[in-house]
Structure 1
Amino acid sequence: MNRSTFLSLLLILPTALFAQDVWTLKSCIDYGLKNNHSNQVYANEKKLADAKAREALAAYLPTVTLTGTLDDNLKVQQTVIPAGVFGPEDVRVAFTKQYQVNPMAQLDQTIFDKSLITGLQANRYSKLQAELNVAKNEETLIYNICNAYFQIAVYREQLELLHSTNETYRGQMQVTEQQVNKGVTLLKDLEKIKVNYNTSLTQIRVAETNLTLSENQLKFEMGFPILEQLTVKPITNETLDFYIPTTDSLQQASVSNRTDYKLLQVNAKLTEIDERRLKNIIYPKLSAYARYGNVGFGNEVNQAWSSMSSYSSIGLKLTIPIVDFKRQAQITQAKYKWRNSIENFKLEESRYQVELENTRSKFKQEQSNLRLYTENIELAQSTFNAIHLQYQKGTTDLTEWLTAQNTLRDSQSNYLNSLYNFFLAKVDLEKAQGTLKDFYQTLSN
């Protein structure tokens, strides 16, 4: 490696290392989707749904059980054989001995159970429900990370404006102090500037605290170590244009894209299946079994084990429910749960539609407000610059200078509020459209 190449690498390396330490919105979301602990919770819920599906299916698969009993008949029961069977007197006979052993294996197989078959239909929807919950959690993480990220962006811009204002007050305070010493300006004018200067210092400390709180909130939402440094990339005017959706996306959006909407559909289907499952309990159930075992008797335990003889049997079992008041009550409960799920679905569908229309209108309004307040802050800055120059030349008084400065400060505050409201309206719109993941995918690192 020659000397020039080595020097070039040394120049590039610090820049590359710095770039790795600056987090974009996309990289923050990437990290959060991988490291937030809620991801594992919902991943476990999905595995739990899979296990429940296998449990439901297992009811239609053969089961094999092994049982074994050892009875110690402390006092053997006797049975009376009436007189005339084996003689003129009643005969008392014991048909067992003190010890009895009975190891047995049994296989059971369900042949027909309509309620069970109906219940198996819920497996597909239970899995879908778990998958949708995972998707909903991811959307929640994207929304929360965006919110915290935008708060940081706004507080940073606020700090820049406050520091600029503070420098203006400090510079003017030095000039006025010299004028007071020369006797050309009253002391009360200097005190007025000091009051505004001290106020700006307080506002800076508040903004710094708010920035720290927002950074900690972002770390929490990402699952990022709270004590480690996290530097996010500033949002420039160029990136602002990226967050503006096209007219087509606003018109084509539908509440059916929302994960919440899809979850309501799945929940309604599950309650319907549960009602049908309970109703189908009335149908006969048919099962088959095969049994093989050994039985032994003896006055000693060893004798019982050594005298065992085997037996086996196969058969069918038919169960026909006749009267079951508990099941009737369960069916009634399931029926109203299903009806309520349908009504809730219709209610939430209407609410989602209203929310979508409101977020569309709010985004357009915030979009317009941001342009207006951006223009206002430029006008206020231009006005203050002109009055500041006039004040320096002595052609205007301090009151007009302070008024122009306060107007500039108010316009800055309005701009910052509008900027955050614009960001929030953007993610609210993406949420209402069900396109938060699409929004995340379009972000650039």
Structure 2
Amino acid sequence: MIRQKLYFIGLFCFLSLTGMAQSFSLKEAVDYAIIHHVQVKNSNLDLQNASAKINEIKAIGLPQVNGGVTYTNNLIIQRMFIPAKTFNPNAADGEIVAAEFGVKNSGMANIGLSQLVFDGTYLLGLKASEVYKELSTKNLIQSKQQVAEGVMKAYYGILVNEKRLQILQANVGRLDTLLKETRALNKQGFVEKIDVQRLEVQSNNLKTELDNVIRIQDLGYSLLKFQMGYPMEEPIRLSLTLEQVDMKFNPLEENLPFNYSNRIEYSILKTQEGLAELDVRSQKAGYLPRLLFNMSYGFTSGRKYFSDLVSQPWFDNSSLGFTLQIPIFDGFSKKYKTIQSQNNLQKVRQSYDLVKSSIDLQRSQSLITLKNSLESLKEQKSNLDLANEISRVTRVKYQQGVGSNLEVLNAESSIKESQANYFTSLYNALIAKVELEKANGTLYSE
């Protein structure tokens, strides 16, 4: 009795919380996860980084302007050894003078501009950055699909457990009614005490199972919140019921033509092939010359005293030129880099058959699994209906005194087993439905 009171108190609190909780349909739960899940957020940041990478590479081809100011104090001026007659014709032959060359203080200020005129690797790098952004976009789609899959499976798990809870509560109520009737019959001397005790054991086991399922349901909600990126401390409830889930399967769908590009894994592989091809071309472009344009303008001054640098005029200077860098020999570095790039490209191309075979296997397995699950679900539903009918007839016979208590308990055990098998088949069918949509590339689309 105490357990029942605690249960109903807990149920009342749960219903009160769910009344204030935010409600989600399956689509709304998926949409929420697409915005709030960390995996999707990180993929969005990767996409932003890819866009920033494109601009970073573009910046290499724009004019580069740098300026600078330099001040030098020659603490000890370097001396140059020259013949004394150079400055004094009357000096003795062979006499050497250690003359200072330079000034105590010197300064320089300049601004320079450089412009990349031609670089084959730069042009290909620019194309590669665009393809890399495309790859990041597809990785974002893949993250959304993975998150959607997790949300759908968790959502369906809650729906199945919710239905299981309803039936278990009905079982508890039915068994409690039978227990009260049996106790009354025992007081009147129509049934033995052991019949009451057997039902009490059955009732206690059923209530324990109900408590376990309630805890499992709490865990299911926590899992759904995790998959959605929803705050764990906030209540949540589902607006979709199990009856609203479309479990129909159209056999004609399996004969429809399939496009491998519908699978994000195959689409990502095609983009990776494009990147690998550009990498090969980039390595080969390393053999081409590189042309740069340079221009500078500045001022210089040199004085004995620091104050003179400020008071005396500076002298300007300017230069303009081109630099042509011609690769001649690098120890075969580019050769071996090209070999590695070509091997990587070959690996990507060889992966197509493997990915196609994997997709075909997944589609075949998920299709068979769904068919088997739906067939099993149909059979288990029939078994459950039959077990309920047997239990009803058995209870009627027992109440009329033509049946035994053991028959009632066996019928209840059969119902319990049939219900467990039914809900297992139901959950398996829902998961198989998700797996088939995933295999066909239709699980999530924006």
| TM-score bucket of the superposed structures, by smaller chain | 0.7 to 0.9
Q: Partners in 1 of 2:46 and 2:262 — Cα distance? A: 23
Matched, 1:246 2:250: yes
Per-residue displacement from partner, 1:44-78 (whole Å, max 9, x unpaired)?
21111001011111111111111221122222223
- Report deviation, 1:420: 0.8
- Report deviation, 1:188: 2.0
2:200 corresponds to = 194
Matched, 1:432 2:433: no
2:147 corresponds to = 141
1:121 corresponds to = 127
- Report deviation, 1:229: 2.2
The one of 384, 388, 412 aligned to 1:381 = 388
Stretch of structure 1 that moved more, 190-199 or 82-91? 82-91
- Report deviation, 1:303: 2.0
Matched, 1:398 2:398: no
1:390/1:396 contact within 8 Å kept:
yes
Q: Partners in 2 of 1:389 and 1:236 — Cα distance? A: 31
Q: Which runs of 5+ in 1 are unaligned?
A: 1-16
Q: Partners in 2 of 1:18 and 1:201 — Cα distance? A: 25
Matched, 1:258 2:259: no
Matches within 5 A, 1:410-425: 410-425=417-432
1:289 corresponds to = 294
The one of 219, 222, 229 aligned to 2:228 = 222
2:355 corresponds to = 348
1:3 corresponds to = none
2:366 corresponds to = 359
Q: Secondary structure of the equivalent of 1:250? A: helix
- Report deviation, 1:186: 2.2
Q: What is the root-mean-square deviation in Å for CA atoms of aligned residues?
A: 2.4
Task: Give the counterpart letter for 1:355 in structure 2.
Answer: Q
Q: Secondary structure of the equivalent of 2:444? A: helix
Q: Which runs of 5+ in 2 are unaligned?
A: 1-17
Q: Partners in 1 of 2:215 and 2:435 — Cα distance? A: 26
Task: Give the counterpart letter for 2:420 in structure 1.
Answer: S
1:12 corresponds to = none
TM-score, normalised to structure 1, is 0.87
Matches within 5 A, 1:15-414: 21-81=22-82, 92-237=98-243, 239-240=244-245, 242-252=246-256, 253-305=258-310, 306-325=312-331, 326-414=333-421
CA gap of 1:309–1:244, structure 2 versus 1, over 3 A, is farther
Q: Partners in 2 of 1:401 and 1:277 — Cα distance? A: 80
Task: Give the counterpart letter for 1:282 in structure 2.
Answer: Y
Per-residue displacement from partner, 1:288-339 (whole Å, max 9, x unpaired)?
1111111111122232343421100110101122332454554444333333
- Report deviation, 1:181: 2.3
Stretch of structure 1 that moved more, 380-389 or 51-60? 380-389
Q: Partners in 2 of 1:159 and 1:263 — Cα distance? A: 43
